[in-house]
Amino acid sequence: MQEAGVNLVSVGIFSWSRLEPSEGNFEFGWLDRVLDLLHDGGVQANLATATASPPPWLAHRHPEMLPVLADGVKLWHGARQHYCPSSPVYRDAAKRLVTAMAERYGKHPALAMWHVGNEYGCHVPACWCDVSAAAFRAWLRERYGSLDELNAGWGTDFWSQRYSSWEEIIPPRRTPTWPNPSQQLDFMRFSSDALLECYEIEHEVLKRATPEVPVTTNFMSFFKPLDYWKWAEREDVVSNDSYPDPSDARSGMRAAMAGDLMRSLGRGRPWILMEQTTNRVNWREINVAKAPGQMRLWSFQAVARGADGVMFFQWRQSRAGAEKHHSAMVPHGPVESSTTWRDVVRLGSELGRLDAVRGAQSRAMVAMLFDWESWWALELPSKPSTRLRQLDQVEAYYQPLFEANQLIDFARPGDDLSSYRLVLAPNLYLVSDEAAASLEAYVEGGGTAVMSFFSGIVDPAEHIRLGGYPQPFRKMLGLDVIDFLPLPADHEVALRFGDGALGRGTIWSEDIVLAGAESLATFSDLPLGGRPAITSHRFGEGTAFYLGTQPDPKTMARLLELACSSAGVEPTAEAPAGVEAVRRWARGKSFLFLLNHRDLWVDVPIARAGTNLVDGSEVHAGLVRLGPRDVAVIGEGW
């Protein structure tokens, strides 16, 4: 570990059955030894609470703690994460273990951070068992207060679903056709909250025992089942696990996007890349290895996007068990001949030179609204088009801005947006009155917004907002949408811009009537030929752009460039294609990260001289050369 520059290790994540081999009998000797060894070697511990995989004895004695799927199938022990999030048996046992851990290790000098559970919801994000049903009812009573309110909120007169007692209510189990959408949406909220309660139980024990020790749990990038806005509020440090597919050309962009999300979830605080693989994973159909330099590049990318730590799953590649073919820092074979080990050692020493970057902040001028509830609601079945997927839409915005080196923060609808010059709202299908009013006020006060079709359609109950689509944004956008005309799967519509430029739209079209907005582009094909497709509207002091279709990538890039220039948003740097440029600031200093995603040499123009912290070399104003997948972190003006 010392050779690799390791200074923080996650310990004990899946060791409950070792720590408590039978009910109430704890065996800590082996962990004492590990923590002492780490401490003696100058390595700190991110100590896990070990509750992500209950021991077989717990499931054997209390099978009612096992999770059940929507169609009644029970998930048994023998893998991991086999617990019903609402199970009092699981929760009590977890609390007992964490209490014992906190007592034993709260004062251990190696303890730097607590790692609660692991990847909550990764395999079992929800449970439909009877215990969960009772917990769901309790959650609903809290939310609605009365059955009348619940019946109204769920629109239960439709299809004769009116409830006459709380006991009749169940989670949305397998039904003949779509279960009630408002019920499904509430079940998603409940399921995220149920797991958050598990985290909270442990968090409370740890905070009482060791108030000064930071607590985290590892996120999984854009993980649909958990509302990470709510979760991140309960963490001292946001941490993330990132496993981009090396065989997918969009992976670099996606990893950047996940990094931006983590920074935003922590409200700008530095985060930790908790897990990545050194090389291959074991869980795709084909586990393509990272290309030479890719692990280093993606590690630096995380730091560029706000991480102050880079870690791996896993230290030593195991000999047995389900993950023995997953790469590790220490491979099965001899380290001397391992390129992975060589890369790990190099990364460790290079990261060791970035101390000055710690705590540095980013300054994004662009925010993208992102909301888990809207994502859940948008992708519930029975919509105009199932081809409308939240993350595709987010990426359609993110990709061209990533390529143009525009830094993006993610924002929760309803957040104060006043520090941003440009706000993007890809398909904000569900929106609360407050969030809609906050976006409207932002534009009215001088902000620029870009919004896509099928936004502002429902309220938080998933009920249509009546009064014309998109009801809460009609004034801001200066238009009315008369109806939606989703496009068949392989269909495109032609777009014509005022300046004669042409483009194409996919997924969606709609019948727009202007009410103050101007048309930037029209549909050129029937049935909407000549009608507005893309519009802009001066509203108060600001401008709102609207997209009534999904423009092709080039057109999207052009539109976002227009929005950026009209909002006065500048890119971080002008860099050649494939070079990512991101800046962080700390204590009056700035750090320019240059990341070459291509496997070619590139010359990047540099405005300010400085020092490349990665190798200590001096960088002169002019051009800096980067090799294939090479990186530079330039302390500007040093």
Q: Smallest gap, in angstroms, from Cβ of residue 327 to ligand GLA?
A: 9
State which residue, 232 or 633, has the beta carbon closest to ligand GLA.
232
Q: Smallest gap, in angstroms, from Cβ of residue 239 to ligand GLA?
A: 11
8 Å CB contact between 52 and 90: no
Contacts for 334 with CB less than 8 Å, ≥ 6 apart: none
State which residue, 329 or 411, has the beta carbon closest to ligand GLA.
329
The kind and range of the H/E element at 451 are strand 448-452
Summarize the chain as % helix, strand, coil (round to 5): 30, 20, 45
8 Å CB contact between 45 and 33: no
Closest-by-Cβ residue to ligand GLA is 241
Report the alpha-carbon distance of residue 63 to residue 429 in Å, rounded: 40
Q: For the chain, give the number of residues.
A: 638
Q: Smallest gap, in angstroms, from Cβ of residue 276 to ligand GLA?
A: 9
Report the alpha-carbon distance of residue 495 to residue 519 in Å, rounded: 11
Chain residues binding ligand GLA by CB under 6 A are 118-119, 241, 243, 275, 281, 313, 323, 326
Q: Smallest gap, in angstroms, from Cβ of residue 121 to ligand GLA?
A: 12
Q: Smallest gap, in angstroms, from Cβ of residue 257 to ligand GLA?
A: 18
Structure tokens at 131: 């215990």
Residue in 150, 159, 221, 232 with CA at minimum distance from that of residue 187: 150
State which residue, 118 or 182, has the beta carbon closest to ligand GLA.
118
Residue 513 has, within 13 A of its CA and on its CB side, a CA count of 6
8 Å CB contact between 91 and 198: yes
10 Å CB burial of residue 105 (0-12, 13-18, 19+) is buried
Q: Smallest gap, in angstroms, from Cβ of residue 120 to ligand GLA?
A: 10
Structure tokens at 154: 């769920």
Report the alpha-carbon distance of residue 243 to residue 241 in Å, rounded: 7
State which residue, 118 or 184, has the beta carbon closest to ligand GLA.
118
State which residue, 121 or 470, has the beta carbon closest to ligand GLA.
121
Report the alpha-carbon distance of residue 572 to residue 163 in Å, rounded: 56
Give the strand pairing for 422-425 and 408-411.
Answer: unpaired
State which residue, 275 or 343, has the beta carbon closest to ligand GLA.
275
State which residue, 282 or 419, has the beta carbon closest to ligand GLA.
282
Contacts for 402 with CB less than 8 Å, ≥ 6 apart: 253, 256, 257, 408, 580
Q: Smallest gap, in angstroms, from Cβ of residue 542 to ligand GLA?
A: 42
> Around Cβ 482, how many Cβ atoms within 10 Å?
13
Report the alpha-carbon distance of residue 89 to residue 109 in Å, rounded: 32
The kind and range of the H/E element at 563 are helix 553-567
Task: List the beta strands (DSSP E) in 345-402.
Answer: 366-369
CA dihedral over 335, 339, 340, 343, signed as positive or negative: positive
For this structure, is 212 an active site residue?
Answer: no
> Around Cβ 599, how many Cβ atoms within 10 Å?
13
Contacts for 204 with CB less than 8 Å, ≥ 6 apart: none
Under DSSP, the state recorded for 222 is S
Q: Smallest gap, in angstroms, from Cβ of residue 55 to ligand GLA?
A: 17
Q: Smallest gap, in angstroms, from Cβ of residue 4 to ligand GLA?
A: 19
Contacts for 408 with CB less than 8 Å, ≥ 6 apart: 257, 260, 364, 366, 367, 368, 398, 401, 402, 424
For this structure, is 23 an active site residue?
Answer: no
Catalytic residue, candidates 20, 202, 275, 580: 275
Catalytic residue, candidates 20, 119, 440, 580: 119
Q: Which residues are marked as active site?
A: 119, 275
